[in-house]
C-alpha cells in the first residue's frame, strides 16, 4: 500500500492493496458468501485465528477489507470496521462498550434514530443515559458518574449545526478513563479528523459524503486496532450488521472524488448561507461558516471548512415553512445529505420525529426549522430555487 501526507492523494491511493496477477485498476468485488479452504486444518487454523485468510463474508471480505484500510488511512487511525448502515455502526459500538449498569453521556441533540436508541432501547436494557449540552464542558463534567463508560456525540450536531470542541471532550475522556465516540458524518475526513484530536472512536454514515451518490446505505467505525477488533469479533459478528461487498465497492468508488465533492459542497454552502442570512423571510441561519456562529471559532483549528449542511428558521408559521418546502422545484424533498443533489427536509416531521414535543423544544428544534444539504449544482441555481420558494413567505 502507498500513502501520502496529503489527504487529497490518499482518497485515491491510501490503503489500496495490490490486486494480484491481473492488476485491475478498480478494486474487484468479491461477491461471495463463503471461502474455500485447502484442507480441514487450514479451516481450523483460520477459525482459531492462527492463520490469515477469509472464512465467511459476515466475518470479513477482501473488498470490505480494502474499504476499511482506506478509511483508517483517511481518519488517521490504526483500523476501521464497515457496517451495513450508519445505525449498524452506532449500535455495534454502543453495545460493545456498554452493559447493564453502565452510564452513557450524550448530546441532547442527536440524529433521530440515534436519539431513539439511546432514549428508549438503552434504558430498557439497564444502561443509564444522560443528555447534556456537549458544547458546555462544565455540563459534561457535571454529568460524569462513577459508572460512566462512554461519551458519545456528533459534530456538527444534526440538525442545528452546534459544534463540539473535540480537544475538550477528548481531554475529559482521557482524564476520567471514558471512551469517547464522535460521529464525523457531516464533516467527512476531508474537513475534520477527530482521532487526531484524541477521540477514541470515529463514526460515519458512509451513506452520505463518503459514498456521495445516493445509492448506498452503509456505516464505518475508525479507531485503534484493539477497539476495532473487539467490535468486529463481538457485536458486528454476532449482531450481523455487515456491509456487502458491492456496497463496499460503491463507497470505495465514491472516496476517489471525496475531496473534490466536499470542496464544492462547502463552497456552495457558504454562498447559500450568506444569501439566506440576508433574506427578509429568514429568521436565523445555523452554519459554522458564518462569523456569528459559535462554532466559527473552531474553523482552522478543528475543521478545515464548514461543510455542506445548514439549518435555518423561516419567519412565519409551520404552515408557511411547509409551503416553502413544497414550492421548491430543483431542490429535492428528501432526507440524507452528501449527494450531488441539494436535499431539503423538515427535521421535526422527518429525521427527528422520534423526539417528543418537549424533547424537540429542549433540543432547539422548532417547527419552522429546515435543514438544507447543499448539493453540487451551480450555486446560482440553488439560490434561485430557494428564492422562488421563499416568495411564498414574503419578507
Which one of the listed residues 102, 133, 165, 183 is annotated catalytic? 183
Mark whether 208 is an active-site residue: yes
Structural domain boundaries in the chain: 7-30+61-255, 258-390
Which one of the listed residues 46, 109, 193, 208 is annotated catalytic? 208
Pairwise CA distance, residues 232 & 161, whole Å? 31
CA 85 to chain centre: 11
Q: What is the pTM of this model?
A: 0.95
Q: What is the mean pLDDT of residues 157-168?
A: 96
Looking at residue 4, its pLDDT comes to 84
Which one of the listed residues 45, 56, 58, 253 is annotated catalytic? 58
CATH 3.40.640.10 assigned to 7-30+61-255: yes
Helix (H) or strand (E) holding 310: strand 309-314
| Among the listed residues 230, 193, 90, 224, the one whose alpha carbon sits nearest the alpha carbon of residue 150 | 90
Hey, how many other C-beta atoms are within 10 angstroms of the C-beta on 31? 12
Residue with cell 471461502: 35
Spatial CB neighbours of 365, under 8 Å, sequence gap ≥ 6: 109, 159, 160, 347, 348, 352, 355
For the cut 80, the answer to whether the pLDDT of residue 136 exceeds it is yes
For 309-319, b/e burial (b = at least 16 CB within 10 A) is bbbbbbbbeee
| Among the listed residues 156, 384, 377, 341, the one whose alpha carbon sits nearest the alpha carbon of residue 264 | 377
- For residue 373, CA distances in Å to 140, 273, 351, 385 come to 29, 11, 13, 14
Looking at residue 395, its pLDDT comes to 55
Pairwise CA distance, residues 165 & 87, whole Å? 23
pLDDT classification of 353: cutoffs 50, 70, 90: confident
Looking at residue 2, its pLDDT comes to 62
Please tell me the number of Cα atoms within 13 Å of 252 on its side-chain side.
Answer: 27
Which one of the listed residues 46, 102, 111, 200 is annotated catalytic? 111
Say if 7-30+61-255 and 258-390 have the same CATH topology: no
Hey, how many other C-beta atoms are within 10 angstroms of the C-beta on 113? 16
| Among the listed residues 349, 352, 333, 350, the one whose alpha carbon sits nearest the alpha carbon of residue 341 | 333
pLDDT classification of 394: cutoffs 50, 70, 90: low
- Work out the end-to-end distance of the chain between its first and last CA atoms, rounded to an integer number of angstroms: 56
CATH top class, domain 258-390: alpha beta
CA 76 to chain centre: 16
Looking at residue 393, its pLDDT comes to 79
Mark whether 58 is an active-site residue: yes
Mark whether 152 is an active-site residue: no
3-state SS, residue 220: strand
pLDDT classification of 55: cutoffs 50, 70, 90: very high
- For residue 301, CA distances in Å to 220, 248, 262, 305 come to 24, 32, 18, 10
Looking at residue 355, its pLDDT comes to 87
Amino acid at each position: 500500500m502507498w500513502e501520502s501526507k496529503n489527504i487529497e492523494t490518499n482518497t485515491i491511493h491510501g490503503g489500496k492493496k495490490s490486486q494480484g496477477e491481473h492488476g485491475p485498476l478498480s478494486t474487484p468485488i468479491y461477491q461471495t458468501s463463503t471461502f474455500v479452504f485447502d484442507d480441514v486444518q487450514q479451516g481450523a487454523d483460520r477459525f482459531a485465528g492462527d492463520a490469515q485468510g477469509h472464512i465467511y463474508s459476515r466475518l470479513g471480505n477482501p473488498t470490505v477489507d480494502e474499504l476499511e484500510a482506506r478509511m483508517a488511512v483517511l481518519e488517521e487511525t490504526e483500523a476501521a470496521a464497515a457496517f451495513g448502515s450508519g445505525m449498524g455502526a452506532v449500535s455495534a459500538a454502543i453495545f460493545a462498550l456498554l452493559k447493564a449498569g453502565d452510564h452513557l453521556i450524550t448530546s441532547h441533540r442527536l440524529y433521530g434514530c440515534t436519539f431513539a436508541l439511546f432514549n428508549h432501547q438503552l434504558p430498557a436494557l439497564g444502561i443509564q443515559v444522560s443528555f447534556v449540552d456537549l458544547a458546555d464542558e462544565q455540563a459534561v463534567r457535571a454529568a460524569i458518574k462513577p459508572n460512566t463508560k462512554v461519551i458519545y456525540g456528533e459534530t456538527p450536531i444534526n440538525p442545528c449545526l452546534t459544534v463540539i470542541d473535540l480537544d475538550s471532550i477528548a481531554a475529559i475522556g482521557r482524564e476520567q478513563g471514558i471512551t469517547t465516540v464522535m460521529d464525523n458524518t457531516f464533516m467527512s475526513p476531508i474537513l475534520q479528523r477527530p482521532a487526531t484530536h484524541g477521540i477514541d472512536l470515529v463514526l460515519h454514515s458512509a451513506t452520505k459524503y463518503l459514498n456521495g451518490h445516493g445509492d448506498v446505505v452503509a456505516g464505518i467505525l475508525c479507531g485503534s486496532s484493539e477497539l476495532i477488533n473487539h467490535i468486529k469479533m463481538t457485536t458486528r459478528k454476532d449482531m450481523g450488521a455487515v456491509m456487502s461487498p458491492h456496497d463496499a465497492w460503491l463507497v470505495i468508488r465514491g472516496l476517489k472524488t471525496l475531496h473534490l465533492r466536499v470542496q464544492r459542497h462547502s463552497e456552495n454552502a457558504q454562498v447559500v448561507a450568506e444569501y439566506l442570512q440576508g433574506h427578509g423571510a429568514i429568521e436565523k441561519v445555523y452554519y459554522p461558516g458564518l462569523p456569528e456562529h459559535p462554532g466559527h471559532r473552531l474553523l482552522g483549528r478543528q475543521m478545515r471548512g464548514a461543510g455542506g449542511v445548514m439549518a435555518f428558521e423561516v419567519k412565519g408559521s409551520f404552515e408557511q415553512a411547509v409551503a416553502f418546502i413544497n414550492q421548491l422545484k430543483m431542490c429535492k424533498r428528501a432526507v440524507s445529505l452528501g449527494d450531488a443533489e441539494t436535499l431539503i427536509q423538515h427535521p421535526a416531521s422527518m429525521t427527528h420525529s422520534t423526539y417528543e414535543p418537549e424533547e424537540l423544544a429542549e433540543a432547539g428544534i422548532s417547527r419552522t426549522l429546515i435543514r438544507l444539504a447543499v448539493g453540487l449544482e451551480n450555486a446560482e441555481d440553488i439560490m434561485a430555487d430557494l428564492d422562488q420558494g421563499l416568495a411564498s413567505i414574503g419578507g
